[in-house]
Amino acid sequence: MFATEHLVQNLNTNIDALLKIVSKTITRKAGIITLSSAIALAFLYSTIQKFIQPSKKLRHLPFISYLTFLRYVFKDALLEAYSKEQILPLMKRSNGVYVRPTVQGWSVMFANPVAVKQLLLKPESSFPKALSNVGLPGTLINKFIGGPSILSVSGPDWKRHRKIANPAFQRSMPITTFGELTIKMFEVINKEPGDTIDVLDLFERWTLDAIGITGFDFDFNALGDKHNKWVDYYDSVKGGMSNPFFIFFYQFDTKYVHLFKKRKELHEKLDKFLSNLDDIINQKRELVRHNISKTTDSERDLLTLMIESEMNEEGDKMSNEELRSNLCIFFLAGHDTTANTLAFALYELAMNPELQEKAREEAIRVLGDSPADAIPTLEQTKELNFLNMVIKETLRRHPPVYNITSRVVLEDMDIVGNFIPKGSEVTVDIYNLHHNPEVWTDPYKFNPDRFLPGGEADSKEGIVWAPFSNGGRQCIGMNFSLAEQRVVLSMLLRKYTWSLPENSPHKKVLQKKGIAWGLVIMSDKLDLIFKKRY
């Protein structure tokens, strides 16, 4: 165990002791110390303690200090500024390998394609998952996505989860459902006053309905009523998980959450949300047991297909807790990530109208140009070659997940000329891999031609594009997500043209944040001006 991990343990103990004293003082109403000053004191103590270097074993690698990292996190800095100002200079010194702080210690980050290949394509036994990747026990984020899911388990448990989930994703490709929801989305667009639409809000609603219906046959009706209670529960929890204060000072999200009324309410909303998932799982088991289904195989929800899959496997089962944990991961992988990618694809096509028109010509060639909505077939989505390149370039330029979950090095290793000691936590820095100037020509330019056969994406050694990770741990829903995006974008291209308002805050750069959590956080709306074609 590295020194920083000992430090965090000691820090937790000291903050707990401090807060117990403060709590007693507040209870006595002595007025000597207030809750706000207690929080400030705990924050100051924590910051001072964390302003240290990594373990001596990692100090030969360039690193970003905890204080600098916290400064970018708490000033809510843009990811692009953080990358250009802090990370790219570090990468130049050690061939795309550097060290950065995390909530639980220090992690070695790989943004070199050869190092990424070495990490992702070796057997899992060489780089097993770190024990804790998604928050600390009892925190909001850990309660939501920290359970025993395909993302977090390792070894035999991971093989069991994958064996059950794989057939579900292979059988499920609900193109018709995606298309019907897109037509419903058109109705929402047409009802909006004026031509300006916040596409972040629009796609968050669309993807919530899509993951609910295709994931476990539950209609959130976010497109029909974005203020209903289930949408409120999910949106509130999702927003609460990204709060950097509670990420770094997790005692206030666990033992002392009662001191924060609104935070406690978020935990209660999450409990109700998870309880609803438990009820759905129990009901679905009964339906599968009695062989009740109203849809074709490809349109059936993933929960049904997973339960059917485990019924076909001798001894390989998932508990209700495991099924629920996997549904929560499907939310993470299928909601914000897909919503952001769709919104960012529209943004890039607005910024590059000649590319938008080229993509529209392809959609019209494949789906026709009659003045009526057309839902593509699965085979037609495979003909949208240029649109697929647009999606891939969007995922390169704006990966919705910044890094993969951490792995552990089991023995001393040399990776692209850097010594990585046994016991180190390592991970792929997806964002900086995708913007590494040693890998990509003019990496901040949007250029779908990078993904032409034999193009730049194919001509580099190692793994240069990893929005879904790669290797055995590659995102199980990759093809599901890509098909989803091709349906929505092709239908939008036939129906509308769009542009960016002159006064948009995103005119020069997308306002992407979320450094602390590792997922894209957007604090500003992304308005686009839509014009109907028919």
Closest-CA residue to 273 (of 221, 235, 227): 235
Whether the pLDDT of residue 420 is over 90: the answer is yes
**pLDDT tens, 336-351?**
889 999 999 999 999 9
Cα–Cα distance, 127 to 420 (Å, whole number)? 12
Decide: 438 and 447 in contact? Cβ < 8 Å: no
Does 455 reside within a domain? yes
- Mark which of 35, 52, 69 sits at the end of a domain: 52
Does 344 reside within a domain? yes
Does 446 reside within a domain? yes
Closest-CA residue to 160 (of 278, 319, 301): 319
pLDDT at position 29: 46
CATH number of 195's domain = 1.10.630.10
Does 96 reside within a domain? no
**pLDDT tens, 63-93?**
998 889 888 988 889 999 999 999 999 999 9
Does 140 reside within a domain? no
Note whether 366 and 251 are same-domain residues: yes
Q: How many structural domains is the chain composed of?
A: 2
Closest-CA residue to 403 (of 488, 467, 323): 467
Whether the pLDDT of residue 366 is over 60: the answer is yes
How many C-beta neighbours within 10 Å does residue 271 have?
Answer: 13
**pLDDT tens, 256-315?**
999 999 999 999 999 999 999 999 999 999 988 887 665 666 678 899 988 988 777 666
Cα–Cα distance, 327 to 277 (Å, whole number)? 8
* Range among 55-59, 276-280, 288-292, 363-367 rated most confident: 363-367
**pLDDT tens, 120-150?**
998 777 788 876 557 788 999 899 988 888 8
Whether the pLDDT of residue 190 is over 50: the answer is yes
Does 181 reside within a domain? yes
Does 14 reside within a domain? yes
Note whether 46 and 161 are same-domain residues: no
Q: 85-120: b or e for each residue (b if 16 or more CB lie within 10 Å)?
A: ebbbebbeebbbbbbbbbbbbbbbbbbbbbbbbbbb
Token pair 């049904």 is at which residue? 304
What's the whole-number mean pLDDT along residues 40-61? 71
Which three-class secondary structure state does DSSP give residue 477? Answer: coil
Long-range Cβ contact pairs of 191-198 (< 8 A, separation 24 or more) = 195/529, 195/530, 195/531, 196/501, 196/527, 196/528, 196/529, 196/530, 197/527, 197/528, 197/529, 197/530, 198/525, 198/526, 198/527
**pLDDT tens, 6-25?**
444 444 555 565 555 445 54
Provide the residue range defining the domain that includes 186. 155-532
Decide: 343 and 511 in contact? Cβ < 8 Å: no
Whether the pLDDT of residue 523 is over 80: the answer is no
Does 468 reside within a domain? yes
- Mark which of 52, 67, 86 sits at the end of a domain: 52
Note whether 193 and 44 are same-domain residues: no
Which three-class secondary structure state does DSSP give residue 108? Answer: strand
pLDDT > 90 in the chain, percent: 59
Cα–Cα distance, 151 to 404 (Å, whole number)? 10
Cα–Cα distance, 332 to 316 (Å, whole number)? 25
Whether the pLDDT of residue 490 is over 70: the answer is yes
Q: Which residue has the higher pLDDT, 477 or 96?
A: 96
SS (H, E, C) 405-447: CCEECCCCEEECCEEECCCCEEEEEHHHHHCCCCCCCCCCCCC
Show the CA angle centred on residue 345, arms to residues 344 and 351, nearest 5°: 85
What's the whole-number mean pLDDT along residues 493-515? 93
Note whether 480 and 362 are same-domain residues: yes
